[in-house]
Structure 1
């Protein structure tokens, strides 16, 4: 029996683990000697940031919720580690699977390795090169102690090889978040609300911002939104507001007739908006992947990216965090000169099956 513990803690994790869970369950149904425990660390505890994803993506109820809650990076890391250690001592697996680059990824990988439990990192090897990002620290530390890497791109493979990791530990499988996207694309649903009823397909923007470089300094946030308003020719802008950003916007009193602030949206509703948008402006990594596969133009408000394949082969362009950089990209977009999706290898909806097949091959 191969015993697997899967860890999810924050909104991006749920999209990444759902297909892995479904692939494991499919193998169990076929008689494979697999078992799993799903651990929710409680890093995201708001229903819109967590609960809706379990419902919409058909994720089973977690076997346990560590209820780590909020706090500083250190407080959250410590809370997850303390609770996850108790979980592993009570239910020791053969393998812990962590995904992505959030606090829970780091905390659970360290805890598992200190108990001499193997760790597999799904989305291993991606790098932004920006050590001011907590996510980059999480990636680097998690990779440094992982036993196996399930990678999304040749770029990630090369990063790991250059860092000295053994080739046999690197398993190039694709992107589980795209598995989730392709599985659920036919189920996307228009959000409820007056503003969504009057939107015309391909005649509005979707905006997301949550990173400290964009939202923590009020002057920077105001300048960026002003630049977005100026360059979007009065088209509606739908802005699902991250809790961090909401606080800053409230202080600034920002108000434009075509800027529509809405609550965070569940997975099926948010991706309905993205699929039908004229373009997406974001500082998220995962959204650049989804927008690329759906062939929706994407402008990334960051100075670096750990997902360079979305620029080389996708619809993404790296605008930067200087609001003055935005105008030429928006002008190019408005002229209809944006690039199209070229196709990213192995982003085909079958990544989770490849992951589970490899795990069976390694541990049987």
Structure 2
């Protein structure tokens, strides 16, 4: 028996007994990726359940995304909340084990690289339930990043690996993932972006928050940048340097907020601190920015499509296609201010080439592969 046959035989369900699909969502990037997949599977007549783990529990960080993206209300909210990696992952596994055991799904679909992703993949594998990983194969090659650990392990446990860019196919092949498990489908996050372009009203966001005509938008939440008070202070020093060049607008993520504020982030007269924004408001603010400073993964992709200069304050990126095809540039703390100055001095938007299959149709491609695979596995 091959690997897939072992998983399906161990699951113990007769062919055709159930076709329930369970989506596990835990953090705001998951919701953006899941929306077009859930919509396409709904159109195909699939029986679906959405489990919100509550890993992001602030209303602006999770619930508002369901409204913004037209997602169905979650069937289950585990309400796990924050905690250390071990504590949070353990709580996620206990809750998900209960849900999977009660529902006995035909497939568990996970997204991205957060703790909810690896917890769901581990639980499903122990219960002999096939896993589909949306956004498989991304690699930073930095094992100090919790996300890198999560994404590598999840890919090894997944029967279906849905990749967003060509280099991810090579990464999975190098790690021994069988070619028939890998599907290059494009980027569902871009489906959501393109499907909502008409809603991203920059002028409305400017009016709502009193933003100037010209501003730099910043988001920072990576542990390496904000968890240490000393590092947070060094970052704030550079962000103040950016604010010397243009007004800096920063929706502050709950992670790192205390350290950034303690380091004096709000002390510069041209720094505007906001609470986290909903998806529509946030992307509208990105769309209107003269440049973006971030350490986020998804924003590198969104700025690539929107043509906004993006400076990523990290030594590496799991999304190199945003550099080769897009507007993204990796910078160190010391490079941030001069790189921002250069971006602001550049006339107009940065030219970018749309990466392959970032065309707004990843959701239907994923739905087609899932439907075909379930039919094949049953026979």
Shorter-normalised TM range: over 0.9
Instruction: Find the aligned partners of 1:351 and 1:193 in 2 and give their Cα distance.
Output: 32
- C-alpha distance in structure 2 between counterparts of 1:68 and 1:300, whole Å: 30
For structure 1, the 5+ residue unaligned runs are 29-33
Q: For residues 66-105 of structure 1, what are the alpha-carbon distances to aligned partners after superposition, in whole Å with 9 as ceiling and x for unaligned?
A: 2212211111111111111111111011110000000000
Q: 1:238 to 1:310 in 2, by over 3 A?
A: same
Distance (whole Å) between structure 1 residues aligned to residue 323 and residue 225 of structure 2: 21
Match for 2:369 among 352, 358, 364?
Answer: 358
CA displacement 1:129-157 (0-9 Å, x = unmatched): 11111100100111111111000011101
Q: Distance in 2 between matches of 1:298 and 1:315?
A: 6
Match of 2:334 in 1: 324
1:173-223, CA deviations, whole angstroms, 9 ceiling, x for partnerless residues? 0111111111112112456686733421xx110000011111122232232
* Alignment-derived partner of residue 86 in structure 2: 74
What's the CA shift for 1:325?
2.0
TM-score, length-scaled by structure 1: 0.94
| Range moving further from structure 2, 8-17 or 241-250 | 241-250
**What residue is the counterpart of 2:324 in the other structure?**
312
Question: For residues 168 and 334 of structure 2, what CA distance do their matches in structure 1 show?
Answer: 31
Deviation at 1:118, TM superposition (A): 0.2
Structure-2 residue corresponding to 1:205: 216
C-alpha distance in 2 between matches for 1:227 and 1:260: 15
- 1:93-132 aligned at under 5 Å gives the runs 93-132=105-144
Q: Which whole-Å CA distance do the structure 2 matches of 1:66 and 1:133 have between them?
A: 25
**Shift in Å, 1:11:** 1.0
C-alpha displacement at 1:230, in angstroms?
2.3
Deviation string, structure 1 residues 306-357 (Cα, Å, up to 9, x no partner): 000001101000113xx21224422321331784211100011100000001
Aligned equivalents of 1:63, 1:78: Cα separation in 2 = 21
Q: Which moved more, 1:299-308 or 1:58-67?
A: 58-67
Aligned residue pairs total 355
1:58 corresponds to 2:74? no
What's 2:274 paired with? 262
- Hey, what does 2:14 align to over in structure 1? none
Q: Is this contact kept in 2: 1:43–1:70, CA < 8 A?
A: yes
Quick one: which of 31, 53, 76 aligns to 1:41? Answer: 53
Match of 2:227 in 1: 216
Q: Residues 295 and 315 of structure 1 are in contact (CA less than 8 Å); yes or no, is this contact kept in structure 2?
A: yes
Kindly indicate whether the alpha-carbon contact (under 8 Å) linking 1:234 and 1:258 is maintained by their aligned counterparts in 2. Answer: no
Residues 1:147 and 2:159 are matched in the alignment? yes
Alignment partners' CA distance in 2, 1:96 and 1:274:
33
Give the drift of 1:232. Answer: 5.2
| Aligned equivalents of 2:221, 2:242: Cα separation in 1 | 21
CA-based RMSD of the aligned residues comes to 1.6
Are the aligned partners of 2:243 and 2:271 in contact in 1 as well (CA < 8 Å)?
A: no
* Conserved? CA contact 2:92–2:119, under 8 Å: yes
* Alpha-carbon distance, 1:284 to partner: 0.3
Deviation track 1:284-309 (CA, whole Å, cap 9, x = no partner) reads 00000001100000000001110000
Task: Tell me if the contact between 2:243 and 2:270 (Cα under 8 Å) persists in the aligned partners.
Answer: no
